[in-house]
A = this chain, B = another copy of it.
Amino acid sequence: MLPLSQKRREEVHERFRSCLKHRGLRQTPERFVVLDAIYDTSGHVDADELYVRLKQGRHSISRATVYNALNVLLDCDLVIRHQFGNAQAKYEPAYRYRQHDHLICLDCQHVLEFCDPRIQNIQELVADIYRFDIKSHALNLYGHCRRPDCENRAEIAV
């Protein structure tokens, strides 16, 4: 959890407000609490982590509302959802870092981020060839990290 600058937070809230208005959705406190929780997160959170964290904090909120807020935030392009292999969605802020992709350790589930401009080129080329209007992409690299404290290293393949 690293706190955002007040200015940054205001920008994100403003964007959310205008998106909600535009879609005729309500500005509820719960939705902003979930938004802030995601933007205060370094790395990736899942829905349950958010629920537990907010429940423990002074913002009581139900799981259903967390999921609802996440879907609204996805619709507004304020958060990004990832599926890193194991079928539990992870979320991250859409407007914090520059565009990046992920490197996932198969042993300890650690996630690293990296950038490579060539992905943009690939995307454009493929869009052109297949006549697709591409909205987003996800490049996930799976492997084994070499952190000394990496867990479950034992599971070695053939």
Interface residues in chain A, defined as those with a beta carbon under 8 Å from any beta carbon in chain B: 19, 22-23, 75, 77, 83, 85, 87-89, 103, 105-106, 112, 114, 116, 118-119, 121-123, 125-127, 129-146, 157-158
Contacts and interface: CB of A to CB of B under 8 A. Distances in A.
Given A83-B83, A83-B87, A141 B146 contact: no
A85 B90 CA distance: 11
Contacts of A138: 138-140, 142
Contacts of A19: 158
B142 A130 contact: no
Given A85-B83, A87-B83, A135 B126 contact: no
A4 B141 CA distance: 30
A106 B81 CA distance: 14
Which residue, of A105, A119, A131, has the highest number of chain B Cβ atoms within 10 A? A119
Determine how many copies of this chain the complex contains. 2
Given A83-B85, A119-B122, A131-B146, 5 more contacts: A22-B158, A118-B121, A123-B141, A132-B145, A133-B143
Nearest to A85: B83
Contacts of A105: 132
Nearest to A122: B116
A144 B132 contact: yes
Contacts of A140: 137-139
Nearest to A146: B131
Nearest to A117: B122
11 contacts: A114-B129, A116-B122, A123-B141, A126-B141, A127-B141, A131-B145, A132-B144, A134-B142, A134-B143, A137-B142, A138-B142
